[in-house]
Structure 1
């Protein structure tokens, strides 16, 4: 299936205006993303003594994570047939994000979302369960978690999900990277059958210094082309496609069309 997703899904508000161009990747809340049709959420988590767990963009904290978990919970309650992929993909702060911190965080996630979490034992060799198999279990949230020790001790979590990054500011280079990834990716031996193409452009450090190539501008440059690529060429060859400022592309409608054809 083609799954429309967002990159840095929780980075939509909460930082000072000076940082917005290089920290915020979205401009709609997680609830709104889900309501529009986004089904893959990419979270990066930081922990701050006295303040708790936050969504981070690298080392910059953005917004508290618990309210976002509650939004996901509310959506799953209201839309019990919708399958959502939640990817806790990085834990950038503190640099030493210990097992005990993971345990503390996972306890919070389980309290909010554990009842919806599809166990990783549902995964078959070489692929995940079918949509009908997911619905039969009445658990429609697939949580990938980027710490293998934590996954080992919590069978309701799935192994880390592979993300593929072009890491470029140029649209043609992004297209070439995605094409190369689709052609050469080898799924054999993967501990998670799901994988994500990160279909966005990335500022370089020098861009941040000289205040050019902000994330919204780069998303504007890429989004129309991304829609065309997956509509016309790669829709049936891809899995998750994550973008910045998702309302600037039409990947939700592309996914519905591809998945129903």
Structure 2
């Protein structure tokens, strides 16, 4: 793929699909990367590169676990930081929202849909939820696709609201009315499993019907016996290789992985969306 930063805009037929019908590559624990400004233990690091590079390399669903730091003043970028077990030093303001604004400053990228999945909240109160939402709406509010637009296809979105390219999925009942419900996470519930056990789990849950308009993700991630996120990119490439409408990848929607940029998942998702769109004709 020559232009992974704009693969959605160049994928034939994808405009026929709704957002919840897409097959999208996602990154698991997106804010815990090797280049993070704070020291992280090996069992916390799940990605090689920061969110900026994840998005530039084609990943379209970002898994955000947000920690409030009350010691930082209101309005300070470090007040809302990303964490796994501890904070990575990555911030919502600079490393997520600012990154998105920079990404969309390039006109050729404005057909790319990105889902920010606010998945977990640490040290939050009702007022801090309101504060975080004010930050989101202030920095990227004009880009947000309201939940009311969920029946629209990408073609309809591009025609009627081309400036709206970002979905906020907020895993709390304190979310703004325009925010989408939290992504439904299909997770096995255990960190230390074999790849064969993970595959059996994926086989089972992918057979379950998805509710219309729901955002659903498979957690294709696990730990090794050394208590670090496992790199099984070879399995990811084999499992999700897209060949035709009958390929295994057609059973999924959002596919979240660790060490995401080491696999071919973006290429396979782009290819798979063409077949899903053809099947909708």
TM-score (norm. length: structure 2) = 0.79
- More moved, 72-81 vs 172-181: 72-81
Match of 1:83 in 2: 113
Contact 1:88 1:144 in 2 (8 A): yes
Is 1:74 equivalent to 2:102 in the alignment? yes
Deviation at 1:155, TM superposition (A): 2.6
Q: Count residues in correspondence.
A: 234
Contact 1:224 1:248 in 2 (8 A): no
Match of 2:182 among 150, 160, 169: 160
Contact 1:118 1:142 in 2 (8 A): yes
Match of 1:61 in 2: 87
Is 1:134 equivalent to 2:162 in the alignment? no
Q: In structure 2, how many angstroms separate the alpha carbons of the residues matched to 1:252 and 1:239?
A: 13
Match of 2:209 among 186, 207, 217: 186
Match of 1:44 in 2: 65
Contact 1:199 1:243 in 2 (8 A): yes
Match of 1:229 among 239, 252, 263: 239
Where does structure 1 lack aligned partners over 5 or more consecutive residues? Answer: none
Deviation at 1:156, TM superposition (A): 2.2
Cα shift readout 1:128-158 (whole Å, capped 9, x = no counterpart): x3111221212111110011132xxx23211
Q: In structure 1, how many angstroms separate the alpha carbons of the residues matched to 2:154 and 2:129?
A: 30
Contact 2:129 2:174 in 1 (8 A): no
Q: Which runs of 4+ in 1 moved over 3 A?
A: none
Contact 1:41 1:87 in 2 (8 A): yes
Q: In structure 2, how many angstroms separate the alpha carbons of the residues matched to 1:82 and 1:186?
A: 26
Q: In structure 2, how many angstroms separate the alpha carbons of the residues matched to 1:159 and 1:231?
A: 29
Query: Matches of residues 97-112 of structure 1 in structure 2 within 5 Å?
Result: 97-112=124-139
Cα shift readout 1:109-130 (whole Å, capped 9, x = no counterpart): 1111111000000123xxxx31
Deviation at 1:99, TM superposition (A): 1.2
Query: Matches of residues 9-28 of structure 1 in structure 2 within 5 Å?
Result: 9-12=30-33, 13-16=36-39, 19=41, 21-28=42-49
Aligned pair in 2 of structure 1 residues 226, 76: CA closer, same or farther (>3 Å)?
same
Q: In structure 1, how many angstroms separate the alpha carbons of the residues matched to 2:257 and 2:183?
A: 16
Bigger proportion of residues as helix: 1
Q: In structure 2, how many angstroms separate the alpha carbons of the residues matched to 1:50 and 1:149?
A: 23
Deviation at 1:33, TM superposition (A): 0.8
Q: Report the aligned-residue RMSD.
A: 1.7
Q: In structure 2, how many angstroms separate the alpha carbons of the residues matched to 1:251 and 1:16?
A: 28
Deviation at 1:10, TM superposition (A): 1.2
TM-score (norm. length: structure 1) = 0.84
